[in-house]
Amino acid sequence: MDGTAQLYHRLMQALPPAWRKSAIPYPGNARVPYEKLLRMVQANAPEEPFLLIAESYSTPLAIRYAATRPKNLKALVLCGGFASSPVSGLRWLAAQLLRPFLFHLPLTDRTIERYLLDENADPALKAELRAALATVKPSVLAARLGEILSCDVRADLTRIDVPSLYIQAENDCLVSPNSLAEILLHKPDLIVASIPGPHLLFQREPARTAKAIEDFVHQLGLSEFQP
């Protein structure tokens, strides 16, 4: 949810060296809704065939973008993704009530381990996470949480015409298996890869997630991405 693109270097290093890779950072000092971020993604789309990879907060945006059927998009990968609010009931209400204050509170090791990186996470990774979040205004993070709680791109799933992979973090404490089940309901041809790990799976398990992506590309025979 930081949107800085600073936390993807491990995944990029784990993917095949011959693949060209880039990440689109989101503004950290301004509230930019999904609608404007969609236009940003469209403006930065590659001219050559490409694979779109999205994690967590970015997954509804990636779904909306893929639903527009960009001519050079060949496949979609979602990690820790959701098509509507990943929480409901009392958890949804609590998140709505607390979000104006939530990101002003200190980010403790306990919180990082419980919800984001799991136990025994590399201290350097924890420091990177804190540094990335520190560059984003709390009000911006609160606004992004609000968008997560109100998003609904389920109808867009039915318009996606490229092969799609969902990487599920088996120990995800933020996005439950219900979110995957909901996506499968609207896109039953979705390929699923389950990997042990926490919500920030790309950061915690870059080698395993990179292998899942590479295997997906190879199975599809997408020669444009072959190393």
Per-residue pLDDT band for 226 (boundaries 50, 70, 90) equals very low
Please say if the pLDDT value at position 140 is more than 80. yes
Distance CA 218, CA 163 (A): 12
Average pLDDT, integer, range 107-127? 90
124 located within any domain: yes
49 located within any domain: yes
1 located within any domain: no
14 located within any domain: yes
Residue type, 81: G
Q: Chain-wide mean pLDDT for the chain?
A: 92
Question: What pLDDT, in 10s, does the model give residues 72-106?
Answer: 999 999 999 999 999 999 999 998 999 989 898 88
Q: What is the pLDDT of residue 61?
A: 96
**DSSP string spanning the chain?**
----SGGGHHHHHHS-TTS-----PPPSSS---HHHHHHHHHHT--SS-EEEEEEGGGHHHHHHHHHT--TTEEEEEEES--SB-S--HHHHHHHHHHHHHHTTS---HHHIIIIII-TT--HHHHHHHHHHHHTS-HHHHHHHHHHHHH-B-HHHHTT--S-EEEEEETT-SSS-HHHHHHHHHH-TT-EEEEESS-S-HHHH-HHHHHHHHHHHHHHHT-GGG--
* Cα 75 from chain centre: 15
Identify which has the larger pLDDT, 119 or 3: 119
110 located within any domain: yes
Question: What pLDDT, in 10s, does the model give residues 39-73?
Answer: 999 998 888 999 999 999 999 999 999 999 998 99
The four Cα atoms 92, 95, 98, 100 give a dihedral, to 10 degrees, of -110
pTM of the model: 0.93
Domain of residue 73 covers 6-225
Give me the helix-helix angle, 34-43 and 59-67, nearest 10°: 60
Please say if the pLDDT value at position 224 is more than 70. no
Q: What is the pLDDT of residue 181?
A: 97
Per-residue pLDDT band for 223 (boundaries 50, 70, 90) equals low
Burial class (CB within 10 angstroms; exposed 0-12, middle 13-18, buried 19+) of 219? exposed
Domain containing 76 — which CATH number?
A: 3.40.50.1820
105 located within any domain: yes
152 located within any domain: yes
Per-residue pLDDT band for 225 (boundaries 50, 70, 90) equals low
Average pLDDT, integer, range 30-46? 91
Task: Tokens for 200, please give them.
Answer: 């920030």
Task: Tokens for 52, please give them.
Answer: 């779109």
* Residue 73, strand partner residues: 50
Number of domains in the chain: 1
Per-residue pLDDT band for 205 (boundaries 50, 70, 90) equals very high
